[in-house]
Amino acid sequence: MAFTTLAALPAHAADALPAHAAEEPEWQGEVLGTGETDLRPEVVAGAFGDVANAEALTAGGSGSATLTWDGTGVAPYVILDYGPVVGGLPYFTVESTSGDVGVRTAYSESLKYVIRKNESQLVKAASAGAETVYVTNTTQMTVGQSLLIGTGENQESATILAVGQAAVTTTAFAPIAAGATNVEVTTTANLPVGAELLIGSGAAQQSVTITAVGRTSSQTTLVADASAGATNIKVASVVGRQVGDVLDVGGENVTVTSVGTAGAAGTGLGVTALTANHVATSPVIFHGSGLSFTPAVTAAFDAGTTLRNPRTGVTVSPLTKDHATDSAVTSSPGNVVGDNAGYLGAGVGSPRNRVTQVSGAGTYTTPANALQGGIRFHAVTLTTPGTVSISDVGVVSKFPNYGPDDYKGWFLSSDEVLNDIWYTGAYTVDTNMVPAGAQNNSTFPVILDGAKRDRRIWAGDLFNAGRSTYTAFGYGPQGSEYISNSIGVLGSRQAANGSVPGESANWTSVPAVAQFYSTAYSIYFPVGLVDNYRYTGDLDFAISQYGRLRAQMDYNLSLTNADGLIVTTSGSDGRDWDFYDGGRAGTVTATNVLYYRALSEAAWLAGHMIENVPTNAEAATWAADKAAWEARANQVKASINATLFDAERGVYRMSNVNTGNKSGNAVPQDANSMAVLWGVAPEEKVSGILDYLKNNLWGEQGPQPFSPDANNSTLISTHISGFELAARYEAGNTEDALALTKTLWARMANPSDPFYTGAFWENHQQNGDLTDANKSLAHSWASGPTWNMSAYLLGVKPVEPGFATWTVKPHLSDLEWSEGQVPTPSGDIKVKWSQDDDEVVELDVTVPDGTSGEIWVPLAAENSVSVGSEGATFKGREDGYDVYEVADGGDYSFTSAVTIKADTPVIEGDLKVGGTLTVTGDWSPNSTQLTYDWYRIGAPTPIQSGTSDSYVLTDRDKNRRIYVEVTGSFGTRPPLTVQTDTTGKVAKE
């Protein structure tokens, strides 16, 4: 039976919400959360097999859905869609059952992975009549399914009768000459003597039989220079090496005399003396004995050629067509499995499906310790024959699911795409939040890295996630405490050497379970702690964590060289956000820019502690810390610019050394973005750095995180791109910041995208696709656009802790208008601005009592002038803004304009004695101050009583014609006077 789509997927979760009252603000309709705790699917995304009344399982459905299976073929299933991703404890309610029946439920963030199909290729040509096909993998193949073989007109469907073994693959390490009976290979696993070996593919493929199995060949690199005469070499890997191995080091052969450990700091390999000098990154090659086979090959094959043992394959109904090697193979309709979720924190269910034996009516709920986050698609199927009628399927929410009334911050603009992105980022953070009691009997709220996985606290993720949390959900139990608690968990498990763990898998245990991840992620502890203080103003929390911060700073110092820079290895200490790339060795620029930020932030915190509690017994220690950290920060900044900046290209390089085959001269997105954002980069270098990133790393779907010579993954990072956004805004490069926002994040906020979840993704490939079913599609580190738009498009940022002082500095670009609200611990800051084609900018700002700050009024042109409300003191002009200072809370309005413009004003009213005339007209800017002079035709002076926009006609006006001169004044601009047309004669009363 074919898979059937029963309804269109929901375009937007808000579409399913009750209509807001007319008086509610427009922004509330953008919010994706509902505030509900019992979450029901919105639509049926598809069904297969004997399923009746599937619509009953949606929020608007009635009655029961019935699934029936006789045990043959593929079991029936229903796929339900919640719209935006949700999380919690899935449940279903059974009304009746034919007996003891197995019900499997499966969960996925994307439709692609909720039903899993086999996708493979033929490793060996299959002829018409064949009953066995040999394939690259048999994952998700089951008896009774259809197997689609080939494409286009040559495609055919066969029924799977038995599933055997998939082919085993290895690779030719070196070229294979015609006539050869041996091949060097990269692995010999599951390639026994007597097995068939298929060399190559297509028409050139040859079949041979393995006669002997030897050792594999491999290549590593020098990680340090090796001089002539040396008897020890430092290598990136020692895996597989043995005493007596002959190695090719940069073209000369040496013999291994001892095997130590890998890396620049490892003990390396003992070898017979080198005869020449060899630089780091030189290849180190071992040629193994490989596989011997018969008969000899009749043609040559290149290094890298694929070799396969087809093994037992898959038994199918007889084929009717011929199919070549490498033909596509796909199973259908697939299995109800759900996507993947690995490296999970405590209290989370794995795998992404669950089988429940149902014997009667009742509600079956997932156990509390098997929470499932990241559910957009929820599938239901049977695992044993029988009939089950189900009336309800849903999820008991275990995330805040904040509705419009819960939002403390909001944002709108003239660009609806940006609006969608802001609220998608806010919802992303929401899905990653774990309220007290929601997971594993937790007693306090925290924020995790992903809704689906890892569901752990990660230090580096807290920067973007934290700022977006403060921006959307404010302060206290609903917002900032999620961040401070997460920081506190990591600090509570500080190691004896001072390093703070980079992640916590279980914050609910006592003590918490946490572990060191990397040097960089330990450095994020002081960075996150101080940023929390900057936004919240919570001095007590900062002081409570200060000892831990101080120990972390001492640990950082212990890792530095003579230049004051931290040195890492290619091991775990050198890892960063890109865990899949492994460690980076040397004085890594990104790590040291982060170290600079930690030093300058720690000094800033110490200074504020002294200022706020100068009588504290530790004040002298704080003062000494402040001075030491400021001095180190200056040294680190100078050393970064002296040793890691490439003047020729105008960018920072990845490191001072190579890490294996990863070039230290590669250009990293992270280091360059952070150097601009945090003031490491000299001002005159900033535009060149940003231009280089745009011209060399940007692609159609977003930035490549490293230049190709890094030999790292090219996965586009939503995390690091959030830092690049901030760097561009900070540098005044708003146009490119908005371009990057739309290029990378717009598709994730678009309900028509096939991977839409209402949240932002962990990362994706350069072509925009996802790498695998394990990918997180609701990852809080990706929320950078949300806080960035509020901080820069609205322009609201804290200066002193807790927004005691602040700046409002809107970045306009080509937007027509924007408005929104940014929460602070003292109250909300509201901003509304607009600009028009007449180069007029209007700005309204409301700030809370007890705070003060600067309001930067944008100027559309160099010759613009501005005016502001009473209570706003003009300070001066800087970088295209007029800067005003306000000393207390209140409402403030500002206008900037180049010239005064007006249409011809018009007189309207009752043209008779005793009647009232009014003059109206359009002026730009709107805040132009107007004065009025009413005249009788022929009179040399204005009418004494005619000084407002209206005038009551008197007996002296009878039979006279009237006109008005209106004069507009704005700032220091010359006044403009315009005159109405004259009226007809005034009639008698």
Positive or negative torsion for Cα 534, 540, 541, 544? positive
Q: How many CB atoms lie within 10 A of CB 68?
A: 18
Radius of gyration of the chain (CA): 35
Distance separating alpha carbons of residues 738 and 758, to the nearest angstrom? 20
* Domain end position, chosen among 878, 897, 916: 897
Whether 403 has a pLDDT exceeding 60, the answer reads yes
One domain for residues 824 and 764: no
The secondary structure of residue 460, as a DSSP letter, is T
* Residues in CB range of 496: below 8 A, 6 or more apart: none
**pLDDT tens for residues 863-905?**
999 999 999 999 999 999 999 999 999 999 999 999 999 999 9
Beta strands in 708-754 (DSSP E): 716-717
Distance separating alpha carbons of residues 326 and 313, to the nearest angstrom? 14
One domain for residues 519 and 634: yes
**Torsion angle of the four alpha carbons 646, 652, 658, 661, in this order, in degrees rounded to the nearest 10:** -110
Check if the beta carbon of residue 817 is closer than 8 Å to that of residue 834: yes
What is the average pLDDT across 146-154? Answer: 96
* Domain count within the chain: 5
Q: Minimal CA–CA distance to 743: which of 672, 693, 790?
A: 693
**pLDDT tens for residues 934-946?**
999 999 999 999 9
Question: Max CA-CA distance within the chain?
Answer: 124
Distance separating alpha carbons of residues 624 and 605, to the nearest angstrom? 13
Q: Minimal CA–CA distance to 834: which of 420, 415, 414, 421?
A: 414
Answer yes or no: is 714 within a domain.
yes
| Per-residue pLDDT, 23 | 62
Distance separating alpha carbons of residues 685 and 670, to the nearest angstrom? 16
One domain for residues 873 and 927: no
Beta-ladder partners of 854: 807, 885
Beta strand 119-121 pairing with 410-413: unpaired
One domain for residues 661 and 735: yes
What percent helix, strand, coil does the chain show, rounded to 5?
A: 25, 30, 45
At CA 987, angle to CA 986 and CA 989, rounded to 5?
120
Higher pLDDT, 202 or 61: 61
Q: Across the chain, what does the average pLDDT equal?
A: 95
Q: Minimal CA–CA distance to 323: which of 119, 135, 117?
A: 135
Check if the beta carbon of residue 543 is closer than 8 Å to that of residue 529: no
**pLDDT tens for residues 601-625?**
999 999 999 999 999 999 999 999 9
| Per-residue pLDDT, 972 | 86
Answer yes or no: is 622 within a domain.
yes
CA 939 to chain centre: 72
Check if the beta carbon of residue 497 is closer than 8 Å to that of residue 431: no
Coil/strand/helix, residue 582: coil
What is the average pLDDT across 85-107? Answer: 98
**Torsion angle of the four alpha carbons 646, 650, 655, 656, in this order, in degrees rounded to the nearest 10:** 10
| Residue appearing with tokens 């120990």 | 551
One domain for residues 371 and 518: no
Q: How many CB atoms lie within 10 A of CB 804?
A: 16
Phi first, then psi: give them for residue 978, nearest 5 degrees: -125, 155
Answer yes or no: is 937 within a domain.
yes
Structure confidence at residue 12 as a pLDDT band (50, 70, 90) = very low
| Per-residue pLDDT, 959 | 95
N-to-C CA span, the chain = 89
At CA 327, angle to CA 323 and CA 328, rounded to 5?
130
Check if the beta carbon of residue 206 is closer than 8 Å to that of residue 294: no
What would the two tokens of residue 418 be? Answer: 């940006």
Q: How many CB atoms lie within 10 A of CB 773?
A: 18
What is the average pLDDT across 725-741? Answer: 99
Answer yes or no: is 281 within a domain.
no
Answer yes or no: is 231 within a domain.
no
Q: Minimal CA–CA distance to 204: which of 65, 305, 77, 349?
A: 305
Q: Minimal CA–CA distance to 505: which of 343, 733, 624, 731?
A: 343
What would the two tokens of residue 248 be? Answer: 């090719």
| Per-residue pLDDT, 17 | 33
One domain for residues 706 and 768: yes
Answer yes or no: is 255 within a domain.
no
**pLDDT tens for residues 20-57?**
334 678 999 999 999 999 999 999 999 999 999 999 99
Positive or negative torsion for Cα 391, 393, 397, 398? positive
Q: What percent of the chain has pLDDT over 70?
A: 98
One domain for residues 906 and 892: no
One domain for residues 391 and 408: no
| Residue appearing with tokens 């009997």 | 441
Distance separating alpha carbons of residues 446 and 466, to the nearest angstrom? 11
Q: Minimal CA–CA distance to 596: which of 632, 647, 554?
A: 632
Buried b (16+ CB within 10 A) or exposed e, 71-102: eeebbbbbbbbbbbbbbbbbbbbbbebeeebb
Answer yes or no: is 190 within a domain.
no
| Residue appearing with tokens 């003062």 | 623
**pLDDT tens for residues 408-439?**
999 999 999 999 999 999 999 999 999 999 99
Whether 7 has a pLDDT exceeding 60, the answer reads no
What would the two tokens of residue 396 be? Answer: 């008991």
Distance separating alpha carbons of residues 129 and 591, to the nearest angstrom? 61
**pLDDT tens for residues 645-698?**
999 999 999 999 998 889 999 999 999 999 999 999 999 999 999 999 999 999
pTM (2 d.p.): 0.90
Q: Minimal CA–CA distance to 812: which of 880, 745, 858?
A: 858
Distance separating alpha carbons of residues 90 and 39, to the nearest angstrom? 9
* Domain end position, chosen among 867, 897, 927: 897
Judging by beta carbons within 10 Å of its beta carbon (0-12, 13-18, 19+), is residue 532 exposed, middle or buried? buried
What is the average pLDDT across 554-564? Answer: 98
Q: Minimal CA–CA distance to 467: which of 481, 452, 454, 483?
A: 483
Q: 559: domain CATH number? A: 1.50.10.10
Q: Please write down the HEC assignment for all residues of 512-556.
A: CEEECCCHHHHHHHHHHHHHHHHHHCCHHHHHHHHHHHHHHHHHH
What would the two tokens of residue 976 be? Answer: 């403009």
* Residues in CB range of 700: below 8 A, 6 or more apart: 743, 766, 768
| Per-residue pLDDT, 440 | 86
One domain for residues 751 and 844: no
Q: What percent of the chain has pLDDT over 90?
A: 93
Q: 17: domain CATH number? A: 2.60.120.260
What is the average pLDDT across 786-814? Answer: 99
Check if the beta carbon of residue 588 is closer than 8 Å to that of residue 568: yes
Beta-ladder partners of 958: 986
Check if the beta carbon of residue 235 is closer than 8 Å to that of residue 281: no
* Domain end position, chosen among 397, 412, 443: 397
One domain for residues 863 and 944: no
Check if the beta carbon of residue 84 is closer than 8 Å to that of residue 103: no
Whether 499 has a pLDDT exceeding 90, the answer reads yes
What is the average pLDDT across 307-313? Answer: 98
The secondary structure of residue 639, as a DSSP letter, is H
Whether 261 has a pLDDT exceeding 60, the answer reads yes
Q: Minimal CA–CA distance to 596: which of 558, 553, 627, 625?
A: 553
The secondary structure of residue 833, as a DSSP letter, is E
For 30, 155, 959, the CA distances from 37, given in Å and listed in that order, are: 20, 47, 76
One domain for residues 833 and 968: no
Higher pLDDT, 541 or 16: 541
Check if the beta carbon of residue 622 is closer than 8 Å to that of residue 608: no
Q: Minimal CA–CA distance to 330: which of 158, 72, 129, 109?
A: 158
Answer yes or no: is 259 within a domain.
no
What is the span of the domain harbouring residue 620?
A: 404-788
For 554, 596, 688, the CA distances from 629, given in Å and listed in that order, are: 10, 9, 29
Q: 951: domain CATH number? A: 2.60.40.2700
| Residue appearing with tokens 């229903």 | 78
One domain for residues 383 and 488: no
At CA 267, angle to CA 262 and CA 271, rounded to 5?
95
Phi first, then psi: give them for residue 950, nearest 5 degrees: -135, 155
Distance separating alpha carbons of residues 749 and 381, to the nearest angstrom? 30
